[in-house]
């Protein structure tokens, strides 16, 4: 796992933040200047494998990084993005969270075409609730 190698110091990286549980590094193929990725030090391939404690802590780190990015670049917004599975755009199978500065009119392409509201919202809700 390339991120495990980065965390072990086997591959160099540019860290902007580190604590006992996470390391946040500059993305070497950034979507925008200041694009940071947050890596849990405990390997989990995706959100399904991530321990609940790490899941809650990573958002606190994402908030810190987003705040620092906003102050550094005076951006108009940030995307906090986490992909799970190849179909969702995951290319490295070590969970990571992207924090990407955004500016009005930039060319960063993160999005989807909005669909029509489903007529069976209650059925969809029940399908998901049955799995909780």
Q: Among all residues, which ones are annotated catalytic?
A: 96
Question: In the block, which residue shows the tokens 């940030």?
Answer: 78
Q: Is the dihedral of CA 85, 91, 97, 102 positive or negative?
A: negative
| E-state strands within 4-125 | 15-18, 22-26, 36-40, 77-81, 97-102
Task: Output the CA angle 66-69-75, nearest 5 degrees.
Answer: 100
Count how many residues are written for the chain: 132
């Amino acid at each position: 796992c390339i991120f495990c190698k980065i965390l072990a110091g086997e591959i160099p990286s540019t860290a902007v933040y580190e604590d006992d549980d996470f390391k946040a590094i500059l993305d070497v193929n950034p979507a925008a200047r200041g694009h940071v990725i947050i890596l849990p030090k405990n390997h989990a391939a995706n959100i399904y494998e991530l321990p609940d404690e790490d899941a809650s802590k990573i958002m606190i780190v994402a908030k810190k990084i987003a705040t620092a990015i906003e102050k550094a670049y005076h951006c108009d917004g940030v995307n906090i993005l986490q992909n799970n599975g190849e179909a969702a755009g995951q290319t490295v199978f070590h969970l990571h969270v992207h924090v990407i500065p955004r500016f009005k009119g930039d060319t960063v392409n993160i999005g989807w075409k909005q669909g029509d509201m489903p007529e069976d919202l209650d059925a969809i809700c029940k399908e998901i609730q049955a799995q909780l």
